[in-house]
Structure formats: structure tokens, C-alpha cells
Amino acid sequence: MTDCIFCKIIQGEIPSYKVYEDEKVLAFLDISQVTKGHTLVVPKKHVENIFEYDEALAADVFSKIPAISRAIRAHHPAVKGMNILNNNGSLAYQSVFHSHVHLIPRYEDESIDGFGLKWETHNEHYQPEDYQTIVETIKEKMEG
């Protein structure tokens, strides 16, 4: 879809910090970093929300989430939990209308993630090299 920011990321027209990629799925760091390592998992096919998935697409996307979650957990010893969130429709706080699943690691010591889980934009605290360090550390922990 021409006007979709996530389609542009998938096509490489907008840069992103890629955690995982295969033929059907892309995972990349959320620019906002609600907590450090906050990642979005998206189907490469443009679908607006969960109501547009068929079973095959759901299998493609959701079957990748456990391994990506484990890599995010493994990237920092203080990550002890994970919130997985998927907003569908503006009423449900969806703001980018290309379906995506948020993986939000939770740190046992919130002074490490720095912010706690507040739905705020923290990108002003992150420089390109910070995103790069986070994404490299997560990628090192991907299985296989």
C-alpha cells in the first residue's frame, strides 16, 4: 500500500532496526521504545488489522512470536517478562493501520528500562547508536 508507513519500512523506503525477517514477516524496533527492546512484529502483506487475517497469515505471523520474544528476553538479564499487545481499530488505540504486534519486555529493575510501562514516546532518549546496540544484541540471541 503506497501510503502505509510500515509497507515503506518493509520495502526499505524508510529505515528500521530489523530484529527478524523472513519471506512473510518482519520484526523491527518500535521507534518509541515503551521499554528498551520494544519490538513490532508485522506481516509483510498489508492487512489493516486482525479481522483481515486468514489462518495461514495468522500462522505465519504468530508462530514467530515465541522465538522473537525469547531473543528479546535473552538480550538483557533483567528482562523477566513480556507484554504482548495488538491494537485493532482506532477505538482500541491503533494508530498505524498496518497490523502489528507489540512485544514489550518487562525489566525486574525498572531503573534499567528507565521508564516503566507508560504508554509514552521515549524516542527522544534514544540515539541511532542506542537502537543499533539494542537490535544487534537481540539478533545475537535469535535461535537458529
Q: How far is the CB of 125 from ligand 5GP (least distance, A)?
A: 13
Subset of residues 66 to 125 that bind Zn ion, contact rule: CB under 5 A: 98
Which residues of this protein are in contact with ligand 5GP, per CB under 6 A? 5, 14, 16, 28-32, 87, 93-96
In the set 98, 100, 122, 125, the catalytic residue is: 100
First to last CA, the chain: 32
Q: How far is the CB of 49 from Zn ion (least distance, A)?
A: 11
* C-beta closer to ligand 5GP: residue 93 or 108: 93
Using an 8 Å Cβ cutoff, are 56 and 124 in contact?
no
Residue the block writes with cell 528476553: 73
Nearest to 114 by CA among 35, 32, 38, 39: 35
